[in-house]
Amino acid sequence: MESRQLFEYIYERVAENVAGKDDLTHYELGMLYQCGADFVAVAEIDIVLMEWFELGAEPYFDDLLAGVPPEFRVDDAGDNAHFYSDDGTLEENLYEARWDRFVEDVRYTHRFFNTGTVRFLDSVFSLLSTDEKALKPEVIRTITHGEMLYRARNTQNQKQAEEIIENPGAEFGPTPRHLASSQRMTPNGISALYCALERETCLSEIRSITGDHVISVALTPITELKLLDLTVLDRVAPPALTLLDEGCREVLHRQVFLGSLVRKLSRPKARNDELSYLSTQVVFEYLRLQFGKQVDGLVFPSVQTGQAGTNVVLFPEASQLASLPQPANDAADEEGDGVTAALVIIPLEVDNPFDPRAKLQIVAKSIRFHKITAIQTSAREYRYISDLFMSDLNRRRLGPAFQ
């Protein structure tokens, strides 16, 4: 290989994978140069090539150093050019900026035919699958027959409650398409089954108010459900790249971004903002098309419980709930606290007697009746108005006491 060809490749990787002054915010530069902070490593090109790229022992190192571009030595202000380590945690994250453009684009520019959105989401979620397009095992959560999910419905009166328990398979199933309203993951007209892993969470998620009457039920997979677990995205190991690899810095930025993506997807709908859910609906549709043959839906934290609870949403194709007639002479709960559900758990060795499209069945004797007596409000108190309206960025700068 010609030395010039090798050197040009290395210089390109320096420009791509190492941050320059323009990649840092004014705050970060001020903390480094005026306040003496050391949270970011700073070096000139000699150290970058010798230590960061680990090329100091190479026989061609002196020639490599002698041929660096002038801008690697002197910046636009005439000062010695500095380089900064960037593991994706700098304030200017490449994927954060792309996410903001994505949200803006689907809201105000191209909503239904948008090749830029597909390219962006391909890049974001490429880490979740292998080269063969199979989801990595660490992002798949399997819920097996006998494990519980929960679903709840508000009821206006006893007559409506009786109708629900007489036909729970239909009443607790997905909302009919013509009645399906815009939800976090689905727009008007597209119906999917929303559940929770805890009964308390599903009561919170339907946004009941004090005095409401609610009926909840437990569901279990007829065989099993495979779900893409969005809560573990930040645990997926990135490719083992070095600064000499193309795309190293971008991979690090994506890894950090994935840790914040689940919070973006769980963010509460802004008041009087009908476009709040557009970005999450687009992400849901993308994941449904990309991985719908490998998983049945998504797992994500419940914003209504401060992310303490866990939600499940099934793709429309997997949202069918089994329905069988209620067993005769079995109307009383053995525990004495309610009416039984319509179905029983069948042994796995028994052939599936349900609609072949059905993924879930109702668990026997799992219906419960609730009267909402109070809504607990959890809030963080601030002394000053500026603390209340502080941006997320400034909260991160000031530390945990302000978050």
Domain boundaries defined on the chain? 3-84, 94-134+232-282, 139-230+288-371
Which of residues 237 and 55 earns the better pLDDT score? Answer: 55
Q: Above 60 in pLDDT, residue 67?
A: yes
> Can you give the pLDDT at residue 157?
94
User: How many whole angstroms separate alpha carbon 261 and alpha carbon 236?
Assistant: 13
Predicted TM-score (pTM) of the model is 0.86
For residue 82, how far is the Cα from the chain centroid? 36
- pLDDT band with cut points at 50, 70 and 90 for residue 339: very low
Rg from Cα positions in the chain = 27
Residue that the structure tokens 């601030």 belong to: 382
Using CA atoms, how far apart are residues 23 and 84, in angstroms rounded to an integer?
A: 9
Sign of CA dihedral 115, 96, 299, 319: negative
User: Which tokens belong to 361?
Assistant: 């069945």
Q: Where are the beta strands (DSSP E) in 99-159?
A: 140-144, 149-155
Which structure tokens are listed for 215? 């009926």
State mean pLDDT over 372-399.
88
What are the backbone angles phi and psi of residue 145, rounded to the nearest 5°? Answer: -55, 125
For residue 345, what pLDDT band results from cuts at 50, 70 and 90? very low
Structure tokens at 297: 């839906």
Instruction: Render pLDDT for 299-338 as a digit per residue (tens, 0 to 9).
Output: 999 988 888 899 999 999 999 888 653 343 344 344 334 3
Q: What is the pLDDT of residue 336?
A: 38
Q: Is residue 232 packed enough to be buried (19+ CB in 10 Å), middle (13-18) or exposed (0-12)?
A: middle
Mean pLDDT of 110-116: 88
- In our burial notation (b when 16+ CB lie closer than 10 A, e otherwise), range 316-326 reads bebbbbbbeeb
**By percentage, how much of the chain surpasses pLDDT 70?**
91
Query: Tell me: the pLDDT tens digits for 71-82?
Result: 999 998 899 999
pLDDT at 235: 84
Whether residue 351 has pLDDT greater than 60:
no
CA distance 72 to 45: 6
Residue scoring higher pLDDT (49 or 181): 49
How far is the C-alpha of 303 from the C-alpha of 262, rounded, in Å?
A: 11
**Is the Cβ–Cβ distance between 312 and 196 less than 8 Å?**
yes
The per-residue pLDDT for 1 is 86
231: Cβ–Cβ under 8 A, 6 or more apart, which residues? 262, 299, 300, 301, 310
Q: What is the pLDDT of residue 112?
A: 86
Check residue 327 and give its pLDDT. 45
Question: Residue 346: pLDDT above 50?
Answer: no
Q: pLDDT exceeding 90 applies to what percent of the chain?
A: 66
What is the predicted pLDDT for the residue at 335?
39
Helix (H) or strand (E) holding 227: strand 224-229
Question: 272 falls in which pLDDT band (50, 70, 90)?
Answer: low
- Between CA 3 and CA 64 the distance in angstroms is 9
Q: How many C-beta atoms lie closer than 10 Å to residue 82's C-beta?
A: 18
Structure tokens at 39: 């949270």
Q: Write 338-341 long-range contacts (CB < 8 A, 24+).
A: 338/365, 338/367, 338/368, 338/369, 339/165, 339/367, 340/364, 340/365, 340/367, 341/168, 341/217, 341/218, 341/365, 341/366, 341/367
Given a contact cutoff of 8 angstroms between Cβ atoms, the answer to whether 324 and 354 are in contact is yes
State the pLDDT at residue 347: 44
Average pLDDT (221-227) is: 95
- Which residues touch 15 (CB under 8 Å, ≥6 apart)? none
Per the model's pLDDT, the better-predicted residue between 156 and 268 turns out to be 156
Count of residues in the chain: 403
Pairing of strands 194-196, 42-43: unpaired
d(CA 203, CA 373) in angstroms, rounded, equals 12
Tens digits of residue pLDDT in 225-267: 999 999 998 888 888 999 999 999 999 999 999 988 988 888 8
Question: Which of 19-33, 35-49, 172-186, 318-332 is predicted with the least confidence, judged by mean pLDDT?
Answer: 318-332
The answer to whether residue 349 scores a pLDDT higher than 70 is no
Average pLDDT, the chain: 88
Helical (H) or strand (E) element with 97: helix 94-108
CA 2 from chain centre, in angstroms, equals 46
